[in-house]
Structure 1
């Protein structure tokens, strides 16, 4: 049987592409109201996902509705843990209303970037996950502090690769403030996905080859090209002889030689 790979997208953020994206992805990270979305949207997107057999996850952020969660907010780790747990709990209720299980948690924006680099932030997110449901999958950047935090807390970690974002030489994502950090050309995206699934490597913005492991590909739902890019990612996966499937199945099919909690980036 072909290896299964997940495609996840950040949805419920008010961009009007949710239903189209749900026809292409296998996991939905649904905004929990602090950077986008609200109680009605969380329930609605959860119901649409359930109808399409798309797995549902929580997409918490800093309390930054005005800045779309892209502003780093200084706070204590106890405050952050409570903030994230509150959002996960809200999303769990929305998923229950749609009669679909909540599967994973993936941080958004500035919170994601902070947790990728800083263990304290990664641990705060992990403790929040554990407080709500220790069986939830912690989804984050491969080789990052998030994977380390998940291991320390006894949580299952799933790693993701980014088809539509450029990487720095250290394996972290280039900030959106960097010109060209977001890739909108579907053909370029497809070429990157093909390289990642076949060779387990990605080319950084400076041209360096980085080894990479992943269970899932992320496609950003907040871009004008989101649907065409998601279609290109799915096509490249399937043309490579792999199957698109929800995160739980992708984690189950993870190659033994590429554990998700191992740092896989090299210069």
Structure 2
């Protein structure tokens, strides 16, 4: 159906307007059924937390995502576990063996200084596409807006493809408070002077997703999306849900 006036949505091998799902243990057979119908709504797939280390049929799942043109990578918690145990070399070798081209560098669980993260990025950016994450999973930690902006700009300048704003899969830390309410003023200040197409906002619930779509347009990058919600999210991006009903081309404020 092509008779409605709807937002100008990016498609194909998108550089922005990304939907990044979180895979927290979707069985291989179920994943195949989901991707057969909905793969064109998905750009990136994160094996959430440290699930990749214990996932059955891991190689088959990685290959399945790649078959459908989706970029798989392992969540930052596994990276931080390897960092804490001084196993980064082994970790990178594992990614190479699995033919995974993307790596996340984060400090959501343990304190890894910005300088240390930048050093790791310099080490890996010639062999991998790097996604960095800013913000803590500890909901008691408050980071000043200036530090958010500084870290994001610095990480992008260091060669990261994208920077993720921490929100957890529950939406209760980082850019959210303990109750799950989004820090709207933080987001509005955060995007000033920063290329929003390079930021992936973790938005695990429809309420969170609708805020970002209404605030930044249909082609905002969203992460930590439940794999079973990708059709609903795309519906929201097209202004075909009550919460985004008034969305139009004029609301697509990210560059096309």
Residues 215, 145 of structure 1: alpha-carbon distance in 2 compared, 3 angstrom cutoff: farther
Whole-Å separation in 2 of the counterparts to 1:93 and 1:56:
14
1:137 to 130, 135, 142: 130
Which residue number in structure 1 is paired with residue 155 of structure 2?
A: 150
Which residue number in structure 1 is paired with residue 223 of structure 2?
A: 218
1:107-256 alignment runs, 5 A limit: 107=106, 111-114=107-110, 120=113, 122-134=114-126, 136-141=129-134, 143=148, 147-151=152-156, 153-159=158-164, 165-166=170-171, 172-174=175-177, 178=178, 189-200=205-216, 216-220=221-225, 226-239=226-239, 255=255
Count how many residue pairs are aligned between Structure 1 and Structure 2. Answer: 193
- Runs of 5+ unmatched residues, structure 2: 1-7, 11-15, 136-147, 183-203, 240-246
1:50 to 38, 45, 66: 66
Structure (1 or 2) with the larger CA radius of gyration:
2
Whole-Å separation in 1 of the counterparts to 2:129 and 2:19:
17
Q: How big is the alpha-carbon RMSD for the aligned residues of Structure 1 and Structure 2? A: 4.5
- Runs of 5+ unmatched residues, structure 1: 64-68, 97-101, 183-187, 202-213, 221-225, 243-252, 257-267
TM-score norm. by structure 2 comes to 0.53
Helix, strand or coil for the counterpart of 2:175? coil
8 Å CA contact 1:140–1:158 kept in 2: the answer is yes
Whole-Å separation in 2 of the counterparts to 1:158 and 1:151:
7
Whole-Å separation in 1 of the counterparts to 2:73 and 2:220:
15
How far 1:236 sits from its partner (Å)?
1.1
- The answer to whether structure 1 residue 14 and structure 2 residue 30 are counterparts is no
1:26 to 24, 40, 43: 43
Whole-Å separation in 1 of the counterparts to 2:165 and 2:230:
15
